[in-house]
Amino acid sequence: MNKITAAITAVGAYVPDFVLTNQVLETMVDTNDEWITSRTGIKERRILKDADKGTSFLAIKAAEDLIAKANINPLEIDLVLMATATPDMQVSATGAYVATQIGATNAFAYDLQAACSSFLYGMSTAAAYIQSGRYKKVLLIGADKMSSIVDYTDRTTCIIFGDGAGAVLFEPNYKGLGLQDEYLRSDGIGRDFLKIDAGGSLHPPTIQTVEEKRHSIRQDGKTVFKYAVTNMADASEQILKRNNLTNEDVAYLVPHQANKRIIDATASRMNLEESKVLMNIERYGNTTSATLPLVLNDFEHLFKKGDTIIFAAFGGGFTWGSIYLKWAYNKQ
């Protein structure tokens, strides 16, 4: 029997209609387009304005897009993995609700949270389920409504984040395509540098925590940037070395879209030419768990069967890593 590898066989995505531009942000906080663009590479981001819709809405839309494009029966999906840092609510898994709403009623589902590395870790998890031989179709969704946890009076964070969702389908492959290797890491030192202070078991919600705006995301930008540049680039370099790959072997780098300077540093360490580095950060900002699948969706037309694709991400916690995958299909 040939070895089972886990291949991506379909992608889908969804972003809200409302566009929050740098020019609009200039009217909200003390910032400007030149400052934001030069430091982040972001020009605009999408925002889900409906107060009664959460991350599940984005995830359902992305999953439905994949299902329609791939023409698959939701009843055949074995597992729905929901990568998100902004679940609809605590305790009740957003993934379970999403699975039911898309008609994947034969699947089990749960949430996976590793901040901006959630989707990357989800790829590893999905691949393990496929490689076990027990499951044939694993739907991995990365979705975040970051606007729900952003303080739009904090200019250090409100310029960065946007809302969106992307989805991929993993299936068994017997020809050596799909996920080849992974280099995943974490370091709890990051706990204090990128977080939402209140709302969890350590600091439950109180009137005081709400008044002090402790339920919004905060970060020590310089520290996070330093760790992100070093570790995302290092992970990508390690995955190349471990697999005896050169920059010539890499068809594309699919990096987490947090900051253009971080992406540029990672590409530089890998000695990649600009055309191999895929970016859409200027249009979406940092959508956290959704960045990687949104890049896949936007650039799917470029990928050829057998292409070597390197994924890299860095997130709060700290969490980071890189994945080496061989693309499994040509877009029709």
Mind telling me the catalytic residues? 116, 256, 286
318 cis-preceded (ω within 30 degrees of 0) = yes
- 3-class SS string, 202-264: CCCCCHHHHHCCCCCCEECHHHHHHHHHHHHHHHHHHHHHHCCCCCCCCCEEEECCCCHHHHH
- Report the relative pairing of strands 178-186 and 319-326 from DSSP bridges: antiparallel
- Are 164 and 280 in contact by the 8 Å Cβ rule? The answer is no
CA distance between the termini of the chain: 30
Task: Tell me the two tokens of residue 12.
Answer: 């889908």
- CA 70, CA 239: separation in Å to the nearest integer? 30
Nearest to 160 by CA among 58, 262, 281: 281
- Name the residue among 66, 137, 111, 89 with its Cα closest to residue 296: 66
Residue found under tokens 């580095």: 277
Pairing relationship of beta strands 108-112 and 138-145 according to DSSP bridges: unpaired
Phi, psi at 236, each rounded to 5°: -65, -40
Strand, helix or coil at 74? helix
User: How is residue 136 annotated by DSSP?
Assistant: S
